[in-house]
Homo-oligomer: A and B are copies of this chain.
Amino acid sequence: MTRVLVIDDEPQIVRALVINLKARHYEVDAAHDGATALQLAAARHPDVVVLDLGLPDMDGVEVIRGLRGWTRVPILVLSARHSSDEKVEALDAGADDYVTKPFGMDELLARLRAAVRRAEPVPGGEDEVVVDTAEFTVDLAAKKVHRGGRDVRLTPTEWHLLEVLVRNTGRLVSQKQLLQEVWGPSYGTETNYLRVYMAQLRRKLEADPAHPRHFITEPGMGYRFEK
């Protein structure tokens, strides 16, 4: 869940923001002054910060600098001032966006979504992409298989088959499902394809291809990959 830190000293604005954000399933923290805000940011590590520049205890720009000293979290600035200078100062201090009050809630939320979106890591990121077994290693992102100190070359079909099996580690995958995922939706009965390519995978990856430990046959049903 996305965590938002709201920093504003006007209770009604904080309330409006909190209600709207919570309704959209954000997790919200709120602070009414700069000192509390910096403390909360350090403690809670929000995914995005909404900051009103007019705070009782310190200049809003100082809050920006305080955050930027250690984090690149997106900062969305709110302010009643329309003055260009103030906008420039806040943006150059490290703010990501600047919205003048009064603001439309829809717009603010859209800008918040934009800020969060571009901060998130590139898609296809760090979800588990490396699978280890006793004998070999499969890197799904790099499309690489390592075994006994060297890379193993797989053909496109071999790789595709391996990928489907590994993504379903421990689960039985039916022959029909394998055929459709690798060869296309119009296939489903050509089990001889599977026999041939499973044999290739075993020959390239199993220590003893005749007695596979990782690529298990479930007679009449399908195949299963075990670590």
Tell me the A residues contacting B by CB distance below 8 Å: 72, 74, 84-85, 87-88, 91-92, 94-98, 104, 106-107, 109-111, 113-114, 117-119, 122, 141-144, 153, 155-156, 159, 170-172, 218-221
Contact = CB atoms under 8 A, between A and B. Distances in A.
Contacts of A156: 219-221
A91 B113 contact: yes
Query: Quick one: copies of this chain in the complex?
Result: 2
B98 A113 contact: no
Contact of A84 (B96, B104, B117): B104
A96 B114 contact: yes
A114 B143 contact: no
Contact of A92 (B72, B74, B110): B110
B172 A144 contact: yes
A81 to B, nearest CB: 12
A170 B144 contact: yes
Contacts of A84: 104, 106-107
